[in-house]
Structure 1
């Protein structure tokens, strides 16, 4: 059975990602309705920044709370995470 893995930051991350999801749906509507590309690009950049911030928070939280054993697995995890930042 898979162990549930939660941190204090996860509820806030879920809220942020749901908000970003709503904004992304709005961007799709903007494209479908023919809104100007510049306006659409600004909104799309906002979505991208929100997702990037959420990813960074998740990774930093993982580093702070899940790593620290100092073993080879921690080093492998850090290398994998560094590619995502």
Structure 2
């Protein structure tokens, strides 16, 4: 697979989420510069952190669903258990 052109259906949503987090992060810098309370700032940082973590989780799960499964190829139902367990555990990233 090439570095460019490696797109999945979820990439558009991930980009949208990251751009929103980017804007939110800029507003947090302004909050700090304006002397807002630490509680307000921490709350907003937590929201940005959650958005980035969700983007990462979506990217990894999409990679597993498409790239890893494509690499492994067709498996009999009895052989799929380790792959399915791996997919399940990534939900806790």
Q: TM-score scaled by structure 2?
A: 0.72
Aligned-pair CA distance for 1:2: 4.0
The aligned counterpart of 1:64 is: 65
- Aligned to 1:49, the other structure's residue is in SS state helix
- Structure 2, unmatched stretches of 5+, are 73-85
| RMSD of aligned alpha carbons | 1.9
Q: Describe the superposition over 1:10-38 as per-residue Cα deviations: whole angstroms up to 9, x where unpaired.
A: 01111000000000001111011100000
Structure 2 CA distance for aligned equivalents of residues 2 and 27 of structure 1? 33
The aligned counterpart of 1:75 is: none
The aligned counterpart of 2:34 is: 33
Structure 1 CA distance for aligned equivalents of residues 3 and 52 of structure 2? 26
- Structure 1, unmatched stretches of 5+, are 71-77
Equivalences, count: 74
Structure 2 CA distance for aligned equivalents of residues 36 and 2 of structure 1? 43
Runs of 4+ in 1 over 6 A off after TM superposition: none
- In structure 2, the CA distance between the partners of 1:41 and 1:4, relative to structure 1 (3 Å rule), is same
